[in-house]
Chain A
């Protein structure tokens, strides 16, 4: 049976990441095809040459703040809810003060009324 390694096997061998079984199989193949081993060694030399490309020096920014995450206090949902509730209560209090509220509780019934008091006549 003829065995021919694919590119991924050859690269895994070049980087020493091939398992033992596959390595033995591949080395057997190289004995039969030394030109393939030469070709792979040439790729290893390319790696050596390219390793001379140096890193550039760069300084990371000292402060790194994402502006989009900074939200004014009044834009947070809980503050907006609390302010809304306070405004509603204030409105009711002012309206009540101006209109003259009357609150009655009798016979299990709560009555809130505004405006002038009306006297209901009892039926005779």
Chain B
């Protein structure tokens, strides 16, 4: 994956984190700008739900703002932030399970002009039809991800989409590196079976795109 300026900024943000930790409001604002998209997408992939992803993102950054002063090592900021995010994801998942409520959006996400997917499919610089196919494929793969257990899903998302190192995932989830790798193995193996069931292959994806 090509690195964007934002990715580079995130990798070299130690001094920014230190300033934010010391109470610099401007630095805290910049940290939010740098990490918001990552935390949103992590949460979105966890739930496959825009509203829940927004909820978790906002709670994560409020918590970051409140507790950043207590962060001992700046280098651990990334795993620390994902720890907050995953804790809120689990909390929301518990609430969702307890309430067992669902909206029409859950039944058929993306239908209708008011839907979030409709909004995001209108990127200015890309062929709308092609963008829509990409979006549909994304949703299809996302639905496969949702069939994994929470434990496997969170590890797969952190590694595959968020690019965390196994050590960082272990820190974020407070488990051993070997456990992370084991969950990753069974997560990928589970996805292989799911993709086979849904007949999603390199060839069918090539046809989609």
Taking Cβ atoms with an 8 Å cutoff, the residues of A that contact B are 6-8, 10-12, 15, 17, 42-43, 45-58, 60-61, 63-64, 66, 68-69
- Contact across chains for B186 and A50 when beta carbons are under 8 A apart: no
User: Chain B interface: which size bin?
Assistant: 35 or more
Pick from A6, A50, A58, A64: contact of B141, CB under 8 Å? A50
Which residues in B have their C-beta under 8 angstroms from that of A48? 202
What is the CA–CA distance of A10 and B183 in the complex, to the nearest angstrom?
Answer: 12
Question: Could you tell me the distance in whole angstroms from the C-beta of A35 to the nearest C-beta in chain B?
Answer: 15
Bound-state CA distance A48–B184 (Å) is: 15
Contacts of A12 in B (CB 8 A): 166, 181
Choose from B44, B156, B159, B191 the contact partner of A56 (Cβ within 8 Å).
B44
| A residues near B189, Cβ cutoff 8 Å | 43
Question: Does B134 sit at the interface, judged by CB under 8 A?
Answer: yes
Chain A residues whose C-beta falls within 8 Å of the C-beta of B57 in the assembled complex: 58
What's the minimum C-beta distance from A124 to chain B, rounded to whole angstroms? 76
Q: Which of B40, B62, B144 contacts A66 (CB 8 A)?
A: B62
Interface bits B186-209 vs A (CB < 8 Å: 1, else 0):
101101100100001110010001
Contact B185 A56 (CB under 8 A): no
B135 lies within 8 A of chain A by Cβ: yes
Q: Are B192 and A60 in contact (CB under 8 A)?
A: no
Contact between B185 and A66, CB atoms less than 8 A apart: no
| B118 within 8 A of partner (CB) | no
Q: Which of B127-175 contact A (CB under 8 A)?
A: 134-135, 137-138, 141-142, 144-145, 156, 159-161, 166
A68 to B65, alpha carbons, bound, how many Å? 11
Q: Which residue of the partner chain, among A8, A10, A60, contacts B32 with CB atoms under 8 Å?
A: A60
Knowing A58-B40, A60-B32, A64-B65, the reply to whether A49 touches B178 (Cβ < 8 A) is: no
* Interface contacts beyond A43-B185, A58-B37: sample of 12 additional A-B pairs, CB < 8 Å, sorted by A: A7-B185, A11-B185, A49-B141, A50-B191, A54-B134, A55-B41, A57-B123, A58-B57, A60-B37, A61-B58, A64-B28, A64-B65
